């Protein structure tokens, strides 16, 4: 027997409320906060389609002190750069810009509570970058 991922759980310490962080991530991912959850709850989840893991935001007493050992890598439907702008407008911050001159790379960001995540290239951008690399390699041969 194996297991499946039921929740991706994010700890929330004061002054960050689970409901507020769930709202932020709900806007990023396009899923609403679970209608059974309310502001002030100690556990708040996102409403996602059945069979998919949800994100669960849980109140904890201790503040974040170190870099995340696990983080999310987001693949946007729009361009990476447009997604970075959109997520910053929602309240995220840029932690480290790893975009390369050739268009590859990613942007390390933090949600309003300081949890790191990355925004990578969209699938369309990745396909264009791979094709350009293949053409460059073929030109060298």
Domain assignments of the chain as residue spans, ordered by start = 1-65, 67-141
The pLDDT, as a whole number, for residue 133 is 77
Listed residue (43, 48, 58) closest to 12, CA to CA: 58
What is the CATH architecture of 67-141?
A: 2-Layer Sandwich (3.30)
pLDDT beneath 70, residues of the chain:
none
Listed residue (74, 109, 71) closest to 90, CA to CA: 109
The pLDDT, as a whole number, for residue 64 is 77
In this structure, the number of other CB atoms found within 10 A of the CB of residue 18 comes to 25
Q: What pTM did the predictor assign?
A: 0.87
The pLDDT, as a whole number, for residue 14 is 87
* DSSP category for residue 78: S
Contact 8, 53 (CB under 8 A): yes
The pLDDT, as a whole number, for residue 70 is 85
The pLDDT, as a whole number, for residue 134 is 79
The pLDDT, as a whole number, for residue 51 is 86
């Amino acid at each position: 027997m194996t297991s499946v991922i039921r929740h991706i759980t994010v700890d929330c310490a004061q002054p960050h409320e689970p409901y507020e962080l769930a709202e932020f991530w709900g806007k990023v991912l396009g899923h609403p906060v679970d209608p059974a959850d309310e502001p002030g709850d100690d556990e708040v989840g996102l409403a996602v389609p059945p069979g998919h893991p949800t994100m669960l935001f849980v109140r904890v007493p201790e503040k974040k002190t170190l870099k995340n050992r696990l983080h999310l890598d987001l693949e946007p439907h729009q361009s990476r750069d447009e997604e970075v702008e959109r997520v910053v407008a929602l309240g995220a911050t840029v932690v480290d810009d790893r975009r390369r001159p050739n268009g590859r790379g990613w942007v390390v960001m933090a949600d309003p509570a300081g949890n790191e995540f990355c925004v990578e290239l969209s699938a369309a951008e990745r396909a264009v970058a791979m094709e350009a690399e293949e053409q460059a390699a073929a030109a060298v041969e």
